[in-house]
Structure 1
Amino acid sequence: MTTARTDVLTVARAQVLDQGTGLTPAQVREVLDLPDDRLDDLLELAHEVRMRWCGPDVEVEGIISLKTGGCPEDCHFCSQSGLFASPVRSAWLDIPMLVEAAKQTAKTGATEFCIVAAVRGPDERLMAQVAAGIQAIRDEIDINIACSLGMLTQEQVDELAAMGVHRYNHNLETARSHFPNVVTTHTWEERWGTLRMVREAGMEVCCGGIVGMGETLDQRAEFAGQLAELEPDEVPLNFLNPRPGTPFGDLEPMSGPDALRTVAAFRLALPRTILRFAGGREITLGDLGARKGLLGGINAVIVGNYLTTLGRPAESDIDLLGELEMPIKALNESL
């Protein structure tokens, strides 16, 4: 005689909402299998979890590319790789433009400004440019500064920590088992090593990835579990926006329901983590999906444009947060 399995949302309500213990990869896999007619129930539970363990505040961030294009790595989703026939060309941003971008970000109410570079890892020139940029921004405005500069050495980690970098972003991108299908010029383990050094240096760890890159649902659940093991302070969740000229340029974008199921599943796996809407949400979810995501586990957004793709106008996201009565996290609450 077989016994009926307890519904995963019933389990999640007791385990995640009541106890604050994230779902296991096997449980996440069950969530990803839920039919569309259970989606609203799933999103409602994820929102309850977010409100209980993270509160109502939403962290707003802007990003800017200090060094664009010409990257030697072959990340199959990225139009900034110098190995693909994509339209992005190598360019550097000067310090005055970097400061202006930080000022415009701060005007939206954002508390976090991330300096990004398309590189395998920073060289001396880039580290010097970052140091000069951080100092110039600090001379003008009060905002937390994050960086995303690829893989780091211990010396570079220590330098960034000494500069006062608040948070370092380095995405694992996908599940360990799927990573060789996404990148071949470096390993998942190399990325993990950088994240470990960042954590030990006292900087906050920002680590997420992109869903919809051909991974199976098992691998998507695996990825959620690996992020939970890492315990990052923030997980930016991107949805593949296929870029012309890249190996993934012909993949179909995820459906809206699949994207929302993924958002909620990651919230249930990571109940206390900042879960940020990042790239691809515009084509995957649209305006209605953005609203549902914010009511389904998301508690942070990137406003404005991304590195090589257009985002929603910053004002649209800020207005939506006001309509949903979700306060923007204040700067002193982000420290």
Structure 2
Amino acid sequence: MTAAAERTGTESVTDPIAAAREQVLERGTGLDEEQLLEILRIDDDRIPELLALAHEVRMRWCGPEVEVEGIVSLKTGGCPEDCHFCSQSGQFPSPVRSAWLDIPGLVKAARETVETGASEFCIVAAVRGPDKRLLSQVRDGIKAIREDGNDIQIACSLGMLTQAQVDELVEMGVHRYNHNLETARSHFPNVVTTHSWEERWETLKMVHAAGMEVCCGGIIGMGETIEQRAEFAAQLGELDPHEVPMNFLIPQPGTPYENYEIVEGKDALRTIAAFRLALPRTILRFAGGRELTLGDLGAEQGMLGGINAIIVGNYLTNLGRPAQQDLDMLADLKMPVKALSEHL
């Protein structure tokens, strides 16, 4: 029997949505891998019911507020790793070229992010891990942002870290660190060969132990099976990150995944709901690919299906939609934007 099964004289299996309601909504305990697989196999005609439950879970355990974030690339392109989805890898003939953003540009990006109403600003670099030059740029950038009178919360995504680098980022005042596991452990070797899933996991454990908030998610639609989607959600549940960004593959020219099909909207919505049921108390953030996969109506369905955070504007090398369009959507849905003051 599955974890959702019960005995009533003869063996029977509880409806997975009903079981999730009792376990996740009422008790606040996330679903395990086997239960998540049942959710991901829910019939299409039950997706609205599933989304409604995921929204109830979000409202009960996270509340109605939505965290808004902007991101900027400090160092773009030229990465030595071979992440098959990424146009910033130096190993593929993609059109992205290596470039650095100067400090005034970083300050300007932070200022523009604040103007959208965002409370979070993430500095990203396409690297295996930060060298002294990159960490110096980050330090100078944070100092300049603060001197500009900007007290927005600053996160970083700089690849794999050593303990000394973790400590240095804490000392700089970085409060959240993003490092995505990208996919299930069993599928990772098909996506990246230049480093291991375990190396990423080790960075995340050091970040967590140092007191920074952990931001860790991945990309749906990289050839993983439905079983591996359940595995991935369960592994994130074990990690217990503060935030999980949900990306859907945008096939990039020149990468090994350039001809992959876009995830169907119904599968994207089922996956969003499943991740919420795996992570009832976690910030679940709409990230790259949502416009392509879901469109405007689907984005609203996702916000009513477990999502409680959103990246506004562009996604590094991919264009998003105008920030105001997302803010208008939140206003229409009567979802308040989490204020900066609540983080301080």
Q: Which residue of structure 2 aligns with residue 202 of structure 1? A: 211
Match of 2:248 among 216, 227, 239: 239
Q: Distance in 2 between matches of 1:216 and 1:334?
A: 38
Match of 1:250 among 242, 247, 259: 259
Q: Which residue of structure 2 aligns with residue 82 of structure 1? A: 90
Give the Å deviation of 1:2.
5.8
Match of 2:161 among 152, 176, 196: 152
Q: Which residue of structure 2 aligns with residue 173 of structure 1? A: 182
Which SS does the other structure have where 1:4 is aligned?
Answer: strand
Q: Which residue identity lines up with residue 31 of structure 1 in the other structure?
A: I
Q: Which residue identity lines up with residue 252 of structure 1 in the other structure?
A: E
Give the Å deviation of 1:312.
1.2
Q: Which residue of structure 2 aligns with residue 42 of structure 1? A: 50
Paired residues for 1:102-113 under 5 Å: 102-113=110-121
Paired residues for 1:1-335 under 5 Å: 3-140=11-148, 141-335=150-344
Q: Which of structure 1's runs of 4+ aligned residues deviate more than 6 A? A: none
Q: Which runs of 5+ in 2 are unaligned?
A: 1-8
Deviations 1:208-263 (A, max 9, x none): 00011000011000000100000000000000000010011110010000000000
Q: Distance in 2 between matches of 1:334 and 1:235?
A: 18
Q: Which runs of 5+ in 1 are unaligned?
A: none
Q: Which residue identity lines up with residue 298 of structure 1 in the other structure?
A: I
Give the Å deviation of 1:198.
0.5
Give the Å deviation of 1:269.
0.4
Superposition TM-score, scaled by structure 1 size: 0.99
Give the Å deviation of 1:331.
1.2
Q: Which residue identity lines up with residue 215 of structure 1 in the other structure?
A: E
Q: Distance in 2 between matches of 1:288 and 1:85?
A: 35
Deviations 1:137-176 (A, max 9, x none): 1112110000000000111100000000010000000000
Q: Distance in 2 between matches of 1:131 and 1:201?
A: 18
> What value does the CA root-mean-square deviation take over the aligned residues?
0.8
Q: Which residue identity lines up with residue 196 of structure 1 in the other structure?
A: K
Q: Which residue identity lines up with residue 117 of structure 2 in the other structure?
A: G
* Aligned pairs, number: 335
Which SS does the other structure have where 1:132 is aligned?
Answer: helix
Give the Å deviation of 1:334.
2.7
Superposition TM-score, scaled by structure 2 size: 0.96
Q: Provide the identity percentage.
A: 74
Q: Distance in 1 between matches of 2:188 and 2:307?
A: 25
